[in-house]
Amino acid sequence: MSVQSFTFQVKTKGFSDTHNITTKVQEFLSRSKLAIGIAAVFVPGSTASITTIEYESGAIEDLKKAIECLAPQNIHYDHDARWGDGNGFAHVRAALLGPSLSIPFKEGELQLGTWQQIVLIDFDNRPRNREVLVQIVGE
């Protein structure tokens, strides 16, 4: 049993910009040489989330619309009134979707569905350089 820790950067545009990070996570898993265990994918920050979806432009667009209904950009946010950040909607969205995901792996392969990809969604109101952590526990 061991733990291995990896980090990578993703340049995002904000406003629910969605990136497929599956290949990157699998690449680090392969580099770890671990065969079986759990890969925890985590985004440090309070305005981005990690989840899975079929990564095709239709489904991504549909998800963005649903998130816009969940916490619309153009309503009042107390966060903005207090701090003038203008990204109150991003904080709410990120809290609802969450920053973490745990994925089992076997024989060195992430056990995702055929059409299931790991995505980073950046909800902030400006471009960001995001760090993503992949913490792998296994043997």
Residues at the site binding a copy of itself, with contacts judged by CB under 8 A: 1-3, 5, 36-38, 40, 42-46, 51-54, 56-59, 61-63, 66-67, 69-71, 77-83, 88, 91-92, 94-104, 106, 111-113, 115-117, 119, 133, 135, 137-139
Least separation in angstroms between residue 27's CB and a copy of itself is 17
Least separation in angstroms between residue 21's CB and a copy of itself is 14
Q: Please list the residues that pair with 53 across neighbouring strands.
A: 117
Least separation in angstroms between residue 75's CB and a copy of itself is 9
Q: Which is nearer to a copy of itself, 30 or 78 (CB)?
A: 78
Task: Tell which residue, 41, 68, 59, 62, has the closest CA to residue 123.
Answer: 68
DSSP 8-state assignment for residue 78: H
How far apart are the C-alpha atoms of 1 and 18, rounded to whole Å? 33
Do 129 and 19 form a contact (C-beta atoms < 8 A)?
no
How far apart are the C-alpha atoms of 17 and 130, rounded to whole Å? 12
Least separation in angstroms between residue 13's CB and a copy of itself is 19
